[in-house]
């Protein structure tokens, strides 16, 4: 699973990254968490409000700081 | 009613002497803080509910098909209901331009969205009254529409940095929200905002209460007296670097207007605080040539200054 955090470096984006890493660790799944700051890629996904969370190329949320639990729920659902 | 309760608390229960400067400052502080927080909770909640009906994707689809003038008005109105933070400025800007919205229309949105927001609205309503809050919304809309039209006329498309990315495939999960989702969203959003601004609100009102009680009434009258032509531009320029503290700045401005600052000057200052911001410019530099940023700041700044003069003139 590939989790991408889309954002240009504001406080919320950094927090979302931390939450995503925590969620992956707690779920115990194999996943790569990366931060994407390249505006071309962000806009390429059609994202207009950051931070956004993209999992395996699919935009899960935009403009929302998801908690580790919320991300965790999604990872587990997807893992099954 | 709230005023009576606070008065009773301060003078009867705590027993501070009536008429003393200190007890009046305490009374003023408690009354304003409680009133503002009640208003914040109610208004942010209502605005968030409205917000769930206008996603940025929907706004983009609407603005992408609009031409100038009508587009500028729509963009400014949609700017009010779309949440804005300076770190989203770039993707929003590119998203609108990509979708085919004229540059001037996009600028109208960029001006209105941060300038007219629910926090500024509540602070103005609570501390200046409903009329001034409406005045602020009205003139904010006017500045946003006019700035967008002016920038659109300047034909500055070549000053947008070139980007090469694949056309966005827009497939953000457009989940359908039911009433409970909207309530949950609004609750979460209201808490988020309150968490972010409560400290500024308290500090702002605290300082305001201090000024109210301890600063002589004509302290600023010398500087900002009617006819002092530089008061409005100076207030606008000072306002630019103060972004993100609108919650703390408005109580201060409210106290300062009691001490002789004209309302037009105060309005110009608050519009500059919310509408023009240094961090936003730094971020927008990634998509705009410096020249376009300077044009953007001058057109909007000019509009704000004119608005300030106008209100100082008609409210005298």
Cα gap B274→B243, rounded to integer Å:
6
Within an 8 Å CB–CB cutoff, is residue B173 touching chain A? yes
User: pLDDT by residue (tens digit) across B77-126?
Assistant: 999 888 777 778 888 888 888 888 899 999 999 999 989 988 889 999 99
Query: Helix, strand, or coil here: A79?
Result: helix
User: pLDDT by residue (tens digit) across B158-189?
Assistant: 888 877 655 555 555 455 678 888 898 899 88
The greatest distance separating any two alpha carbons of chain A, rounded to the nearest whole angstrom, comes to 33
Judging contacts by C-beta atoms under 8 Å, the chain B residues touching residue A45 are: 168-169
CB contact under 8 A, A50 and B95: no
> Which residue from A40, A45, A49 is facing B92, i.e. has the nearest CB?
A49
Q: Do residues B43 and B122 lie in contact, with contact meaning Cβ atoms separated by under 8 Å?
A: yes
User: pLDDT by residue (tens digit) across A16-47?
Assistant: 999 999 999 888 888 889 999 888 888 888 88
At B217 the pLDDT is: 67
Within an 8 Å CB–CB cutoff, is residue A14 touching chain B? no
Letter string b/e over residues B244-278, b meaning 16 or more CB atoms within 10 A of that residue's CB: bebbbbbbbbbbbbebbbbbbbbbbbbbbbbbbbe
Q: What does the pLDDT average to over B58-85?
A: 87
pLDDT of B231 over the 90 cut: no
CB contact under 8 A, A43 and B86: no
Q: What does the pLDDT average to over B198-218?
A: 85
Sign of the dihedral defined by the CA atoms of residues B124, B128, B129, B130, in that order: negative
Within an 8 Å CB–CB cutoff, is residue B53 touching chain A? no
pLDDT of A9 over the 80 cut: no
Q: For residue B244, what are the contacts with CB-CB under 8 A and spacing of at least 6?
A: B86, B277, B279
Query: Which residue in chain B has the smallest CA separation from A63?
Result: B88
Cα gap A52→A4, rounded to integer Å:
8
Mean pLDDT over each residue of chain B, to the nearest integer: 85
- Token pair, residue B153, equals 């006329």
Cα gap B275→B270, rounded to integer Å:
8
Within an 8 Å CB–CB cutoff, is residue A42 touching chain B? yes
Query: What Å distances lie between residue B310 and B139, B151, B225, CA to CA?
Result: 10, 22, 15
Pick the most confident of A61-70, B8-17, B55-64, B283-292: B283-292
Cα gap B231→A10, rounded to integer Å:
34
pLDDT of B295 over the 90 cut: yes
pLDDT of B244 over the 70 cut: no
Cα gap B86→A13, rounded to integer Å:
13
Gap from B256 CA to chain A (nearest CA, Å): 32
Q: Do residues A59 and A5 lie in contact, with contact meaning Cβ atoms separated by under 8 Å?
A: no
Judging contacts by C-beta atoms under 8 Å, the chain A residues touching residue B164 are: 40
At B243 the pLDDT is: 62
Provide the 10 A C-beta neighbour count for residue B196. 12
Q: What does the pLDDT average to over B237-256?
A: 80
Judging contacts by C-beta atoms under 8 Å, the chain B residues touching residue A62 are: 56, 172
Within an 8 Å CB–CB cutoff, is residue A49 touching chain B? yes
At B218 the pLDDT is: 67
Total residues belonging to chain B: 316
At B222 the pLDDT is: 63
Q: What does the pLDDT average to over A60-73?
A: 86
pLDDT of B151 over the 90 cut: yes
pLDDT of B223 over the 70 cut: no
Residue numbers of A annotated as active site: 10, 13
Q: Of B47, B91, B34, which Cα lies nearest the Cα of B189?
A: B47
CB contact under 8 A, A12 and B85: yes
> Which residue from B56, B166, B172 is facing A44, i.e. has the nearest CB?
B166
Gap from B108 CA to chain A (nearest CA, Å): 17
At B249 the pLDDT is: 85
Within an 8 Å CB–CB cutoff, is residue A63 touching chain B? yes
Judging contacts by C-beta atoms under 8 Å, the chain A residues touching residue B94 are: 39, 43
Work out the pLDDT band at B212, boundaries 50, 70, 90.
confident
pTM here is 0.85
CB contact under 8 A, B164 and A50: no
Judging contacts by C-beta atoms under 8 Å, the chain B residues touching residue A9 are: 87
Q: What is the interface size between A and B, counted as CB pairs within 8 Å?
A: 74
At B152 the pLDDT is: 93
CB contact under 8 A, A39 and B287: yes
Gap from A26 CA to chain B (nearest CA, Å): 24
Q: What does the pLDDT average to over B291-310?
A: 94
Within an 8 Å CB–CB cutoff, is residue A56 touching chain B? no
Judging contacts by C-beta atoms under 8 Å, the chain A residues touching residue B192 are: 65
Q: For residue B36, what are the contacts with CB-CB under 8 A and spacing of at least 6?
A: B122, B123, B126, B127, B201, B205, B251
């Amino acid at each position: 699973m590939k989790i991408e955090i889309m954002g240009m470096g504001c406080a919320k984006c950094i927090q979302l990254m931390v939450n995503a890493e925590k969620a992956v660790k707690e779920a115990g799944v194999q996943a790569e968490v990366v931060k994407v700051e390249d505006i071309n890629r962000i806009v390429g996904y059609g994202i207009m409000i950051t931070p956004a969370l993209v999992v395996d190329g699919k935009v899960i949320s935009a403009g929302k700081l998801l908690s580790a639990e919320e991300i965790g729920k999604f990872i587990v659902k997807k893992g099954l | 009613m709230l005023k009576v309760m606070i008065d009773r608390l301060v003078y009867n229960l705590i027993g501070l002497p009536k008429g003393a400067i200190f007890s009046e400052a305490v009374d003023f502080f408690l009354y304003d803080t409680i009133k503002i927080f009640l208003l914040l909770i109610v208004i942010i909640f209502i605005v968030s509910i409205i917000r769930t009906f206008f996603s940025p994707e929907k706004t983009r689809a609407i603005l992408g098909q609009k031409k100038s003038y009508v587009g500028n008005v729509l963009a400014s109105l949609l700017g009010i209901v779309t949440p804005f933070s300076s770190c989203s400025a770039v993707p929003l800007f590119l998203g609108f331009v990509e979708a085919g919205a004229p540059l001037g229309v996009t600028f109208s949105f960029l001006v209105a969205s941060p300038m007219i927001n629910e926090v500024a609205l509540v602070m103005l309503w609570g501390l200046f009254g409903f009329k001034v809050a409406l005045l602020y919304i009205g003139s904010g809309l006017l500045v946003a529409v006019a700035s967008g039209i002016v920038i659109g006329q300047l034909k500055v498309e070549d000053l947008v940095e070139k980007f090469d990315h694949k056309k966005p495939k827009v497939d953000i999960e457009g989940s359908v929200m039911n009433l409970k989702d909207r309530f949950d969203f609004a609750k979460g959003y209201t808490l988020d905002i309150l968490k972010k601004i409560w400290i500024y609100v308290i500090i702002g009102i605290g300082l305001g209460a201090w000024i109210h009680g301890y600063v002589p009434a004509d302290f600023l009258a010398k500087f900002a007296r009617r006819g002092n032509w530089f008061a409005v531009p100076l207030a606008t320029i000072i306002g630019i670097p103060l972004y993100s503290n609108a919650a703390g700045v408005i109580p201060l401005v409210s106290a300062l207007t009691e001490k002789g600052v004209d309302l037009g000057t105060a309005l110009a200052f608050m519009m500059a605080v919310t509408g023009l911001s240094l961090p936003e410019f730094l971020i927008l530099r990634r998509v705009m040539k410096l020249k376009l940023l300077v044009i953007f700041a001058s057109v909007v700044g000019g509009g704000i200054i004119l608005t300030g003069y106008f209100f100082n003139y008609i409210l005298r």
